[in-house]
Amino acid sequence: MTTKYSSIGIFCKPNLPVSTLLYTVDTILSTIYSIGANCSVYVETKTAQCVLTDRETDLYKNIIVGTFDEIKNSVDLAIAIGGDGTLLGLARQFAQYKAHIIGINQGRLGFTTDLDETDIKNELGSLLLHGGNVEERDMISVAVMRRSVTEKDKVFFSGLALNDAVVNRAAISNMVELDVWVENSFLHSMRGDGLVICTPTGSTAYALSVNGPIIHPKLSCFGLVPIASQALSSRPISIPADMEITVVIKNGPGTVLHCDMQTVTELQDGDRLVVRKSIHKAKMLHPKTYDYFALLRKKLRWNINPGRIRNNSSSQ
């Protein structure tokens, strides 16, 4: 039987409980083979170290083990087992390659991981047989420019993010002071705990927790969301994705940069953070039943009636 994908890669969060990981990988492999899928299966090295110990079942006979660099060009569907952070990391790694990505949620909220453990047999089998909906999501490229001893700005740090770039305070520091420019226009100066620059995907991450707007992933724009700004008039704003954002650090000591909350670099006075739309996109695979608004209702519990909860509590 011909599937929509000829090679599948399995990647997991490093510190998942082994019993949970074994069950999930077993279910994935049994689903692949039960539908008669004629495809190659790759397991990333660290994932294999967790699941291959004393595994003598037929499910594991034909898998290929390799590091990301060894299998990155062979995989056309990457399955991320973990939470949003696991999928974000895999999306950054695969951004410049052909693979589509789908997540199996083993985390908490799981905005970007479409499948739960109970969905694997039905949804994954259907995806392999009939395909799904591939959604290309904007990513941002981030560069920090720093003045060198020759008085020329050089790239001190560069990174890629699917969710956001966050400039904020380290554990102990003063308030962050920033000048923000959009294209060649000065937007504003801000003083506070920091600034989130998010993609539509990242609008339901850190940006949401600091009162940023939810941005539909089909919109091509970025959000700038202040974190605990000293000025109450400092509000979130969305701008077109093709506009370049520049953030100048004015009070550098104790200021740090996070890309998808994974990469950290310390910033100094005068550093310029330049954020652009990346030439790469994350290629997310969704089941054909995927509904973004249903996802919001489920994850944000919009289907829960607070009044009904209070009434039920008072009657007990």
The answer to whether 201 touches 219, Cβ cutoff 8 Å, is: no
The answer to whether 198 touches 206, Cβ cutoff 8 Å, is: yes
Count of C-beta atoms within a 10 Å radius of residue 205? 24
The structure tokens listed for 104 are: 């199996």
Largest CA distance in the chain: 74
Q: Choosing from 58, 69, 76, 84, which is the catalytic residue?
A: 84
* Helix (H) or strand (E) run with residue 78 in it: strand 77-82
| DSSP string covering 137-193 | EEEEEEEEEEE-TTS-EEEEEEEEESSEEEEEE-SS---EEEEEEETTEEEEEEEES
Q: Alpha carbon of 57 to those of 16, 30, 52, 63, 117: distances in Å? A: 21, 11, 10, 12, 21
Amino acid in the structure at residue 70: E
The answer to whether residue 69 is catalytic is: no
Q: Which of 2, 79, 4 is nearest to 38 (CA)?
A: 2
The structure tokens listed for 74 are: 């062979």
Question: Percentages helix, strand, coil for the chain, rounded to the nearest 5?
Answer: 25, 35, 35
The structure tokens listed for 121 are: 């047999």
Which residues are marked as active site? 84
